[in-house]
């Protein structure tokens, strides 16, 4: 009963999505957006007329003016610094703009650029001190905050009456301050334009990448040749200029030089940036985060004002939010990877029928024996990790190695060997096509082809992205084994889309259908996914009818058949289920049947754990990987089965002394060659009564050597 | 209330009692191959315990008691039931435990219960200087051969028993998490409390006792005196994080005990690696043909030399890649240390002088 509940719960509730969503970068922006929506909703309930057009327009004006400054602050924070002087620069540029317009009566076209240049100059003071003289950003900008503020106080003492008396007669100036287009304030258009540019700048342009790189690691950025000092200086210059832009619009709107303009603005701006998710540590931030942070802070402060909350409380709320956001920022950045790695692993309910007996006295074809005891070893200690072995039509023996090579052993005794080709990733399954090209699945890289003249070519490393998967599943992570149809189409398995090759035990722990079978057509050079949701699909072999493949599901402990052509096209049928072990590669035998390697055998303790996902989830969290309950892959065997799925015989090496692990086997001229991904040898076993002239790829492609 | 909250948060965060950490084999427990490389004297059918009359070695093998003479075991006594523990009185006469249920002296005197409760799992015997017989009764529920049921069932019904030279058996401690191994140490009695990985020192008038050896990375068993003071402590199985984890997973543990053959449980064992039906852990994968000796031990061979104050002086090992696992008894006679590796059912011998030279090197 409770088993049924567990099964249903794990069948219909997608546990694995949480980790996949969290590992997306956009979730960091997603949280502030959700906060913004909540704040907006709550405030709209609290305050009447919250969404009235006039109020919205006013909010948009303020948001844009402050938003410019937040952009500047964000830029400086991303590069790894902080700019406390933004409030003072804002006040000073506001004064400067008003002085030019009201007192000197400059035209707008001259006054606005002049103000921006003035702001840039103010920022450049910070920039040069921090960037080139390498002073501390915090203390430097704190000092300029005081100096600029002092200058501002002196200036307004002298000129405030003159500014108040002047009255610039400029429609353009008024349009900047109070103008609207389609009910939307002018400033908002500028803001949106700047935001779009800023986004492109940060994510698509070289200087933007440089800024993020410097914030992420200044030393690495320097070592990779980025002009660190200049870039940092330019960020402070930009901050000054953006403050000036805010100042210009503020000046044109209110035309005031009151003593409290820009006081405490740096806290507001900093809160907005941190709340949006721009990291205080640098290297992490985006325009979206800056915009969202600005809106949240402004909504809160404005609503507090309209609720007639005293200014002190207002600032206290702001400081409280800043503190909270900063704590979350630091803790999240520090623990992000740990949290994701804890929630990413999502074991599934995996029920296996009762384990069939393989005892020597069980009287079945599975009965354990010692037939493989006298296997002879090829390349002992000279080859590492031959997952698959293959023989060409001239008796040469090929095997992959974990150094990323294809090694060729020479007949007749296979004592000599050479590196046939270097690919760079772990070679897994192999097959020859009609033209003697060797196709190889490379873990972590994809499907590769080695031409007869030893040229290594990439066949494919991506497939179509499925519309309903959260992680990008277009890249191939673990191409595993392949076979080639009569028309040249290549069917290969990808064991899992959620983990890398060395993480296969984690996929075994999940026991979810994370794998798929992919078809690559060399004629059109196109790739598409044929079957999805398989439990670690592994070995693949074209069936006798030429219209279907047999494939092994390692953690599904089954062999299935998939029709890619003919009347049953697209269908998948079970051939052998509830195997007593974990099936791996499949290949044809000389008598028209199929060899299947069992890489390991099931054990009752893991079978039980597969029915208890919660247990495995806790195990994944608490127990180090080396101590996990694993599928036992120290002992395996080779079996022969026919098209009906009947097991005809089995070959064992019980102690696993001579050949500890078997991931593949290949019959050739009366011998069976054995590969094992964690072995340092290739096994060779004399088959009694087998066709001494059998050459797999002569038969397959109808040739004679 | 606070305790309940703490235990909840401990379980949630895997701290405190919920932590599955295992002390490392380091310092005096630094691994070596002394047990693995020790001389193999003989292999028996069902060896259980070793004892000495001061001159020669006595072996309990099934229903028989053998004396080790001229390189072979000579039968000196047989009983109607399997011998589960063996000791020698000062005069050289035998004291045996039969099937865990009875303690019998050579003069025919026998006892079947203490404090009104029958013996179930008498697994160790020793004799004090005053002739008192000390014994451990491992568990109220599980006979000696089902010790693994007691471990995985979180058994805590072991007791230590004293039988005065003239008098009736009495408990000197009860409610122990499996008692396996007992020896007199001056005025005190040392008892191995296996499932708590410690050795307790008890006084004969009762009381809770104080741990003299604590936080072992394995489960201690029998104690025998060493020449020059102190004891030999055989640690018959060792701890792994996976077993510690499973011990804290009630649902999995109960289902495992109900549905699976005990030979294939996630639990420590006296021998391992015999079939693929045993659970395998990550580090057990043979890579390039080699099983790592530092992989988590399902079975292990470990004997610890204790100083008179309980400090660990040095230890002898047979690691994961070895065979001489499950050492349940170690006894020193004339400068030679005899060990009984119950996993492969072997009697081993090594010179104490060689051991001391090797661990000092």
Nearest CA in chain A to B285: A634
Nearest CA in chain A to B15: A622
The residue of A361, A623, A635 whose CB has the most chain B CBs within 10 angstroms, and thus the best one to mutate to test that interface, is A623
pLDDT at B355: 94
Structure-block tokens of residue A522:
């060399």
* B14/A612 Cβ within 8 A: no
3-state secondary structure of B169: coil
* A632/B260 Cβ within 8 A: no
Work out the number of other CB atoms within 10 angstroms of the CB of residue A402: 17
* Average pLDDT, integer, range B153-173: 92
Of B265, B266, B288, the CB nearest to A679: B288
**Among candidates A369, A403, A371, which has minimal Cα distance to A384?**
A403
Chain mean pLDDT for chain A = 91
- What are the chain A neighbours of B288 within 8 Å (beta carbons)? 384, 678-680
- What are the chain B neighbours of A614 within 8 Å (beta carbons)? 251
Peptide bond into A412 cis (omega under 30): yes
Of A612, A627, A634, the CB nearest to B285: A634
* B242/A628 Cβ within 8 A: yes
C-alpha dist (Å) from residue A38 to A127, A177, A328, A650: 38, 31, 18, 64
Supply the DSSP symbol for A121: H
Do the beta carbons of residue A275 and residue A325 sit within 8 Å?
yes
Is any Cβ of chain B less than 8 angstroms from the Cβ of A544?
no
- Which residues fall within 8 angstroms of residue B77, CB to CB, at 6 or more apart? B64, B65, B94, B96
Nearest CA in chain B to A613: B252
Of A608, A628, A678, the CB nearest to B281: A628
- What are the chain A neighbours of B286 within 8 Å (beta carbons)? 634, 656, 660-661, 678
pLDDT digits (tens, 9 = 90+) for A235-284: 999 999 999 999 999 999 888 888 888 888 999 999 999 999 898 888 88
pLDDT at B221: 96
- Which residues fall within 8 angstroms of residue B156, CB to CB, at 6 or more apart? B175, B176, B177, B178, B195
3-state secondary structure of B313: strand
Is any Cβ of chain B less than 8 angstroms from the Cβ of A604?
yes
Is any Cβ of chain B less than 8 angstroms from the Cβ of A5?
no
* Average pLDDT, integer, range A380-399: 92
What distance in Å separates residue B216's CA from the closest CA in chain A?
Answer: 19
Q: Which residue has the higher pLDDT, B97 or A375?
A: B97
Q: Residue B297 — φ and ψ, nearest 5°? A: -80, 115
Beta strands in A426-542 (DSSP E): 426-432, 438-443, 446-450, 456-460, 479-484, 490-494, 515-521, 526-534, 537-542
Phi-psi group of B230: left, alpha or beta (phi > 0 → left; psi -120 to 50 → alpha; rest → beta): left
Of A603, A608, A634, the CB nearest to B255: A608
Do the beta carbons of residue A364 and residue A357 sit within 8 Å?
yes
H or E stretch at A210: helix A206-216
Is any Cβ of chain A less than 8 angstroms from the Cβ of B255?
yes
Of B285, B289, B296, the CB nearest to A680: B289
What distance in Å separates residue B251's CA from the closest CA in chain A?
Answer: 8
Is any Cβ of chain A less than 8 angstroms from the Cβ of B288?
yes
Least confident range of A313-317, A577-581, B143-147, B321-325: A313-317
pLDDT at A705: 57
Report CA B169 to chain centroid distance, whole Å: 23
- What are the chain B neighbours of A609 within 8 Å (beta carbons)? 252
Is any Cβ of chain A less than 8 angstroms from the Cβ of B14?
yes
In a domain, B27, yes or no: no
pLDDT at B241: 95
C-alpha B361/C-alpha B359 separation (Å) is: 5
Total domain count for chain B?
Answer: 1
Do the beta carbons of residue B25 and residue B217 sit within 8 Å?
yes
Of B245, B256, B280, the CB nearest to A619: B245
What fold, for A371-464+471-701? Neuraminidase (2.120.10)
Report CA B257 to chain centroid distance, whole Å: 22
Is any Cβ of chain A less than 8 angstroms from the Cβ of B12?
no
* Average pLDDT, integer, range B276-296: 91
* A625/B284 Cβ within 8 A: no
pLDDT at A423: 93
Q: Residue A698 — φ and ψ, nearest 5°? A: -70, -45
pLDDT at B260: 95
Q: Where in chain A is the domain with CATH 2.120.10.30?
A: 371-464+471-701
Longest Cα–Cα distance in chain B: 66
Do the beta carbons of residue A69 and residue A246 sit within 8 Å?
yes
Buried b / exposed e over A11-38, threshold 16 CB at 10 Å, is eeeebbeebbebbeeeebbbebbebbee
In a domain, B37, yes or no: no
Structure-block tokens of residue B227:
């020449």
pLDDT at B16: 78
**Among candidates A377, A393, A389, A383, which has minimal Cα distance to A418?**
A383
Confidence tier at B216 by pLDDT (50, 70, 90): very high
C-alpha A432/C-alpha A696 separation (Å) is: 10
- Which residues fall within 8 angstroms of residue B170, CB to CB, at 6 or more apart? B114, B115, B161, B162, B163, B164
Confidence tier at B289 by pLDDT (50, 70, 90): confident
**Among candidates A491, A490, A495, A453, which has minimal Cα distance to A478?**
A495
Least confident range of A69-73, A82-86, A336-340, B96-100: A336-340
C-alpha A624/C-alpha A45 separation (Å) is: 50
Is A409 exposed, middle or buried, given 0-12, 13-18 or 19+ CB atoms closer than 10 A?
buried
C-alpha A202/C-alpha A205 separation (Å) is: 6
Of B14, B249, B286, the CB nearest to A634: B286
Is any Cβ of chain A less than 8 angstroms from the Cβ of B96?
no
Q: Is the C-alpha dihedral spanning B318, B319, B320, B322 positive or negative?
A: negative
pLDDT at A636: 86
- What are the chain A neighbours of B276 within 8 Å (beta carbons)? 600-601, 603, 632, 634-635
User: What CATH number is associated with residue B165?
Assistant: 2.120.10.30
3-state secondary structure of A180: strand
Confidence tier at A649 by pLDDT (50, 70, 90): very high
pLDDT at A37: 92
% of chain A residues with pLDDT over 70? 99
The residue written with tokens 């047999």 in the block is A550
* Average pLDDT, integer, range A224-244: 95
Percentages helix, strand, coil for chain A (3-state, rounded to 5) are: 45, 20, 35
3-state secondary structure of A82: coil
Buried b / exposed e over A549-585, threshold 16 CB at 10 Å, is bbbbbbbbbbbbbbbbeeeeeeeeeebbeebbbbbbb
Print the domain residue range for B302: 44-272+286-360
Report CA B96 to chain centroid distance, whole Å: 17
pLDDT digits (tens, 9 = 90+) for A327-384: 888 888 788 888 888 888 899 999 989 999 998 888 899 999 888 888 899 998 899 9
- What are the chain A neighbours of B281 within 8 Å (beta carbons)? 626-630
C-alpha A553/C-alpha B348 separation (Å) is: 47
H or E stretch at A417: strand A417-422
Pairing verdict, β B113-114 and B179-185: unpaired
Task: Please measure the distance between the N-terminal and C-terminal CA atoms of chain A and give it in whole angstroms.
Answer: 61
Is any Cβ of chain A less than 8 angstroms from the Cβ of B13?
no
* B251/A630 Cβ within 8 A: no
CB-defined contacts A:B, below 8 A? 103
- What are the chain B neighbours of A622 within 8 Å (beta carbons)? 14, 20, 245
In a domain, B278, yes or no: no
What distance in Å separates residue B293's CA from the closest CA in chain A?
Answer: 13
pLDDT at A655: 66
Confidence tier at B244 by pLDDT (50, 70, 90): very high
Is any Cβ of chain A less than 8 angstroms from the Cβ of B265?
yes
The residue written with tokens 């920039």 in the block is A127
C-alpha A342/C-alpha A329 separation (Å) is: 19
C-alpha A304/C-alpha A302 separation (Å) is: 5
3-state secondary structure of A158: helix
In a domain, B23, yes or no: no
C-alpha A672/C-alpha A386 separation (Å) is: 15
């Amino acid at each position: 009963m409770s088993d049924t509940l567990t099964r249903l719960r794990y069948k219909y509730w997608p546990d694995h999505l949480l980790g996949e969503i969290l590992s997306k970068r956009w979730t960091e922006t997603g949280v502030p957006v959700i906060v913004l929506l909540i704040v907006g909703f709550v405030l709209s309930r609290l305050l009447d007329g919250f969404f009235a057009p006039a109020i919205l327009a006013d909010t948009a004006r303020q948001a844009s003016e402050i938003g410019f400054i937040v952009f500047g602050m964000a830029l400086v924070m991303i590069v790894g610094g902080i700019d406390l002087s933004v409030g003072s620069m804002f006040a000073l540029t506001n004064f400067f703009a008003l002085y030019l317009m009201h007192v000197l009566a400059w035209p707008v076209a001259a006054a606005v650029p002049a103000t921006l240049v003035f702001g840039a100059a103010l920022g450049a003071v910070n920039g040069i001190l921090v960037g080139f003289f390498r002073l501390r950003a915090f203390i430097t900008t704190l000092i300029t905050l005081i100096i600029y503020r002092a200058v501002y106080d002196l200036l307004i003492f002298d000129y405030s009456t003159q500014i108040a008396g002047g009255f610039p007669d400029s429609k353009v100036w008024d349009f900047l301050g109070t103008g609207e287009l389609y009910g939307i304030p002018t400033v908002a258009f500028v803001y949106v334009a700047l935001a779009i540019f800023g986004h492109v700048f940060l994510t698509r342009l070289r200087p933007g990448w440089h800024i993020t790189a410097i914030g992420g690691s200044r030393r690495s950025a320097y070592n990779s040749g980025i002009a660190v000092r200049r870039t940092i200086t330019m960020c402070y210059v930009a901050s000054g200029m953006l403050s000036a832009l805010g100042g210009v619009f503020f000046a044109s709107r209110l035309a005031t030089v009151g003593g409290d303009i820009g006081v405490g603005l740096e806290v507001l701006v900093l809160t907005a940036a941190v709340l949006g998710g721009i990291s205080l540590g640098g290297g992490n931030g985006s325009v979206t985060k800056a915009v969202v942070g600005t809106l949240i802070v402004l909504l809160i402060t404005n609503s507090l004002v309209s609720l007639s909350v005293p200014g002190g409380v207002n600032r206290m709320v702001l400081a409280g939010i800043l503190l909270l956001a900063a704590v979350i920022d630091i803790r999240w950045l520090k623990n992000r990877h740990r949290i994701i790695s804890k929630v990413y692993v999502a074991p599934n309910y995996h029920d296996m029928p009762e384990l069939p007996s393989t005892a020597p006295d069980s009287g079945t074809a599975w009965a354990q024996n010692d037939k493989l005891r006298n296997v002879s070893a090829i390349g002992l200690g000279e080859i590492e990790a031959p997952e698959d072995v293959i023989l060409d039509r001239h008796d040469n023996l090929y095997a992959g190695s974990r150094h990323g090579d294809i090694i060729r052993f020479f007949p007749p005794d296979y004592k000599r060997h050479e590196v046939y080709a270097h690919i760079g990733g772990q070679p897994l399954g192999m097959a020859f096509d009609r033209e003697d090209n060797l196709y190889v699945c490379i873990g972590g890289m994809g499907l590769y082809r080695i031409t007869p003249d030893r040229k290594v070519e990439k066949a494919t490393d991506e497939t179509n992205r499925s519309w309903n998967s959260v992680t990008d599943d277009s890249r191939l992570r673990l191409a595993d084994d392949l076979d080639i149809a009569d028309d040249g189409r290549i069917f290969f398995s990808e064991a899992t889309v959620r983990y890398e090759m060395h993480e296969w035990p984690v996929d075994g722990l999940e026991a979810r259908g994370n794998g798929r079978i992919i078809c690559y057509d060399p004629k059109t050079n196109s790739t598409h996914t044929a079957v999805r949701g398989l439990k670690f699909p592994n070995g693949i072999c074209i069936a006798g009818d030429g219209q279907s493949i047999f494939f092994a599901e390692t953690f599904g402990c089954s062999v299935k058949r998939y029709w890619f052509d003919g009347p049953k096209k697209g269908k998948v049928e079970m051939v052998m289920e509830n195997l007593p072990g974990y099936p791996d590669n499949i290949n044809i035998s000389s008598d028209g049947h199929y060899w299947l390697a069992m890489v390991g055998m099931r054990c009752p303790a893991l079978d039980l754990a597969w029915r208890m996902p919660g247990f495995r989830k806790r195990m994944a969290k608490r127990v180090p990987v080396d101590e996990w309950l694993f599928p036992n892959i120290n002992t395996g065997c080779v079996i022969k089965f026919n098209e009906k799925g009947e097991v005809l015989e089995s070959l064992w090496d019980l102690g696993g002394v001579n050949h500890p692990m078997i991931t593949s086997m290949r019959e050739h001229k009366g011998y069976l060659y054995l590969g094992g991904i964690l072995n340092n040898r290739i096994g060779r076993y004399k088959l009694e009564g087998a066709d001494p002239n059998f050459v797999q790829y002569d038969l397959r492609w109808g040739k004679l050597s | 209330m606070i305790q309940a909250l703490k235990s909840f948060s401990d379980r949630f965060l895997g701290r405190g009692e919920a932590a599955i950490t295992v002390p490392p084999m380091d310092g005096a427990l630094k691994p070596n191959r002394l047990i693995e490389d020790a001389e193999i004297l003989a292999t028996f059918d069902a060896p259980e315990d070793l004892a000495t009359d001061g001159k020669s070695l006595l072996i309990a093998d099934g229903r028989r008691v053998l004396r080790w003479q001229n390189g072979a075991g000579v039968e000196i006594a047989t009983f109607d039931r399997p011998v589960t523990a063996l000791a020698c009185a000062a005069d050289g006469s035998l004291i045996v435990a039969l099937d865990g249920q009875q303690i019998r002296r050579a003069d025919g005197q026998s006892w079947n219960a203490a404090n009104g409760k029958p013996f179930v799992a008498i697994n160790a015997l020793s004799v004090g200087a005053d002739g008192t017989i000390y014994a451990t009764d491992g568990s109220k529920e599980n006979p000696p051969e089902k010790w693994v049921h007691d471990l995985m069932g979180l058994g805590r019904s072991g007791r230590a028993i004293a039988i005065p030279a003239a008098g009736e058996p009495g408990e000197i401690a009860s409610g122990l998490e499996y008692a396996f191994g007992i020896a007199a140490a001056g005025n005190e009695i040392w008892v191995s409390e296996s499932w708590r990985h410690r050795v307790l020192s008890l006084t004969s008038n009762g009381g809770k006792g104080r741990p003299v050896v604590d936080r072992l990375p394995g489960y201690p068993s029998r104690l025998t005196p060493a020449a020059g003071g102190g004891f030999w402590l055989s640690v018959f199985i060792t701890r792994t994080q996976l077993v510690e984890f499973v011990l804290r997973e009630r649902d999995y543990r109960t289902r495992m005990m109900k549905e699976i053959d005990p030979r294939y449980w996630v639990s420590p064992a006296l021998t391992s690696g015999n079939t693929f039906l045993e659970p395998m852990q990550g580090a057990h994968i043979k890579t390039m043909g080699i099983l790592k000796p530092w992989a988590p031990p399902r079975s292990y061979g470990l004997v610890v030399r204790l100083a008179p104050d309980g400090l660990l002086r040095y230890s002898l090992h047979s690691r994961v890649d070895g065979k001489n696992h499950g050492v349940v008894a170690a006894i020193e006679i004339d400068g030679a240390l005899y060990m009984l590796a119950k996993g492969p059912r072997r009697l081993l011998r090594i010179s104490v002088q060689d051991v001391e030279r090797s661990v000092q090197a």
